[in-house]
Amino acid sequence: MKPILVTGMGVVSAIGLGKAQTLEALLANRSGVGELKYLKTEHKEFPVGEVQLTDAEMRKRLDIAEDAVTTRTALMGMLALEEALADARLTQEMLPQVGFISGTTVGGMDMSEQFYLDYIHGEAHKEYIAAHDCGSCTEMTAKRFGKFAFVTTLSTACSSAANAIILGANMIRCGEADIVVVGGSECITKFHLNGFNSLMILDTQPCRPFDATRNGLNLGEGAAYLVLESEESAKKRGAKAQALLSGYGNACDAFHQTASSPDGEGAFRAMKEALELAGLQPSEIDYINAHGTGTPNNDVSESQAMKRLFGDKVPPVSSTKPFTGHTTSASGSIEAVFCILALQNGFVPVNLNWSQAMEDGVVPVSQPTKKALNHILCNAFGFGGNDSSLLLSNADFSLNRHCGLDPQSPKRQEPVFVLSAKQISIQQPLNEDWMQNAETHETRPEFQGLYFAHRGKAHGKDTETCRGHLQGSH
């Protein structure tokens, strides 16, 4: 593909607010993971990577009224987006030509988990109900800065931000937009801290990715956005490329809802696809920013995937999760910013807390390494095997490289056939006779106000059909 320019970025995480603090912490090997301070939870035993501001402090910084409805994920998103827009010199007047794609999974859960019983039993805090969903979070973040041309939300768990970057790149390659701001935001919530704890994948010690003694992950939080831009647009407005997005891949491990396959099939495919799209050989990759969560399972799976793709010549690898904790949905864009800082400043971020090689695993970079970098793979994997990999290149990398996968004419708008369409609803379970119902009556009288697809006559058949389909599942 023809590389896409990154003309701006903004980042917020446990290691700092903004690019400058982030770079300084990365170069100084200073972790932001520590004792839990802000989240109200009983689980004080887990170290976390919290953004070092309370919600109130973030509101103050952004000049948002104390009683205005907002969520921590949106607040962090605003801080990162503010920096990214300023960095790319995008003004409010330009936003109607700019897309905004954000990734999140918890959305407004930080508020819902506090007010849940009020939502059910009372009237208090009901204004937060509409702020629960992921899309609202993106809308709140976007609204502060103006009217974007296009706004949507990716939610693929821990690869959400990486997939937002991929969608933005596809938009630009199709000629649908010249500039798209992409990334993700996610705060720590009691909901997923407890969820991860119930899965027994949280470490009570600082996480140690790719180490023999690794015993789980530390949760983190933060937000980051990249400004993706076509070469023509950047040239026209004199915007400078800070780095290039030269490839990307998305594949599904299709193995288990929360575990990765032992051979890392999804990860392998995602990285391979990124290389192919960029037209690069494995030997040209200078560094891999691994997903490297520090769970026994992920690091085995990801190591296998890297070994399958790179053989015995695996490039320098590190996981930056020990710096920030696992920033879940935002990790794809936060770590993409780390990679760009590494490209710009010629260093490989250290895999902190590593001391002993794991069996069959990669040996990560554990000492500060100054090195000129041209191409970096940045991995982000999510529950359900939603694996994505981004290929970021030095801004000096020739823009004239074209890979065979680019369309001849980006705006050819070929029609697509709809081969089949199926639905299950109150009208009819899984067949097409809804038309009969539509001719004769509007609604069935027993359903006042709420249509359950599963109730009434539909119930038996629906459940049966579903069961038939689910046989043989594991």
Partner 1 sequence: MGKILKRAVATSKEAIKDAEMESVDAIITGTGYGCIENTEFFLDALSTEGEQLLKPTYFMQSTHNTISSLVAIQTKNHGYNATYAHKGVSFDSALQDAWWQFQLGKINSALVGGHDEMTETFYHILKKGGVMGMDDEKCGEAAVSVVLSRHCEESAAASRHCEEERRSNPEKSYLCKLIGFQMLHQPSQNALVDAVATLLGNHEGDRAYREEAKTLFGDKPLLRYKHLFGESFTASGLGFYVAAQCLKAGRVPASLFVDAKEIRDMQPKCILLYNRSDGKNVSLTLLEA
Is 326 part of the annotated catalytic residue set?
yes
Whether the Cβ atoms of residue 185 and residue 329 lie closer than 8 Å to each other: yes
Whether the Cβ atoms of residue 148 and residue 97 lie closer than 8 Å to each other: no
**Joined tokens for residue 78:** 């605003």
The CB-of-168 to partner 1 minimum distance in angstroms stands at 11
The CB-of-184 to partner 1 minimum distance in angstroms stands at 12
By C-beta, is 86 or 199 nearer to partner 1? 199
Strand extents, DSSP E, 253-315: 287-289
Give the chain's largest Cα–Cα span: 74
Is 158 part of the annotated catalytic residue set?
yes
Residue 347 and residue 20: Cα distance in Å, rounded?
A: 15
Is 291 part of the annotated catalytic residue set?
yes
Annotated catalytic residue, options 291, 339, 375, 378:
291
Residue 283 and residue 309: Cα distance in Å, rounded?
A: 10
Whether the Cβ atoms of residue 55 and residue 170 lie closer than 8 Å to each other: no
Residue 431 and residue 218: Cα distance in Å, rounded?
A: 47
**Where do we find the tokens 């090195």?**
371
Annotated catalytic residue, options 192, 326, 375, 378:
326
By C-beta, is 238 or 415 nearer to partner 1? 415
Buried b (16+ CB within 10 A) or exposed e, 100-111: bbbbbbbbbbbb
Q: Which residues contact 342 (CB under 8 A, 6 or more apart)?
A: 26, 287, 289, 348, 349, 373, 376
By C-beta, is 141 or 394 nearer to partner 1? 141
The CB-of-135 to partner 1 minimum distance in angstroms stands at 4
By C-beta, is 160 or 394 nearer to partner 1? 160
Annotated catalytic residue, options 132, 134, 137, 158:
158
**Spatial CA neighbour of 304 closest among 342, 353, 253:** 253
By C-beta, is 353 or 427 nearer to partner 1? 427
The residues carrying an active-site annotation are: 158, 291, 326
